Structure 1
Amino acid sequence: MSDVDVLLKPREAAAALGVSYPTLKQWILAGTLKTIKTPGGHHRIPQSALNPLMKSKPTTARKTSRERFRNVSGRNQLVGTITQVKISGLLAQVSLKIGDQQITSIITSDAAREMQLRKGQTAGALIKSTEVMIVRV
């Protein structure tokens, strides 16, 4: 672990890897994923410990084409990584990094909570005329 390695909570690490929380906990308990315990006994996962697991995932599992989306009529669909989710009152601001570009959408806070949008997750932007919709993929 480097001096500036970020420590993630198990749920954050599970989201970054694209696996469920119970799966990540099984990996921790089996010793597959090394953690650091806080003084209170909580597991924290160094960001660097996720790298081997990310590389071992087959590249075919990360589809970037329209196959990831539900069947919708919108044709302008972009897949990226969530860089920011700001929820305030009735609205949420969601930013995606797509290649070297960033796109931001304002959606309802209920929708952001329902989709459980978090920084680091893969999501899609559906662009229709002047509207940008976020789809969790």
Structure 2
Amino acid sequence: MSSPDGTSSPRYRVSQAADLLGVSDDTLRRWIDAGTFPTETDDAGRAVVAGDALAVVARDLAEKAPHPEDPSGVGRSARNRFVGLVTAITADTVMAQVELQCGPHRVVSLMSSEAVRELDLRVGSLAVAVVKATTVIVETPRSTA
């Protein structure tokens, strides 16, 4: 497949594609064998997945996946919410670093020590990281091979 500028989409080996989707190689191979996941063959004869096809599947999986319910029940304009467990708190008298494990993602927040006390945050507490930022930095690896 081609991108809007006419260049072809990057290709990923099955193991790379499975990692990016958060599934096992075996699961992805079953999808391929069932004909529900398109592949191509690279110059070495290996099955590869086009990045744009992979992106469609990744988005579909994310939309269908069950997400932990936000326990606050509060409506917000921020769309990036990560429900998780507090895994570490490093605090002094003024500031604290709070780490959450939200599924496979580690989220780190700096806040006042007073906020940690007011929220009664402790290791093992259920918490929701709400991210609303005007800047998100996107990086790419030097090579996808």
Give the TM-score taking structure 1 as reference length.
0.49
Structure label with greater radius of gyration: 2
Structure with greater strand percent: 1
Give the TM-score taking structure 2 as reference length.
0.46
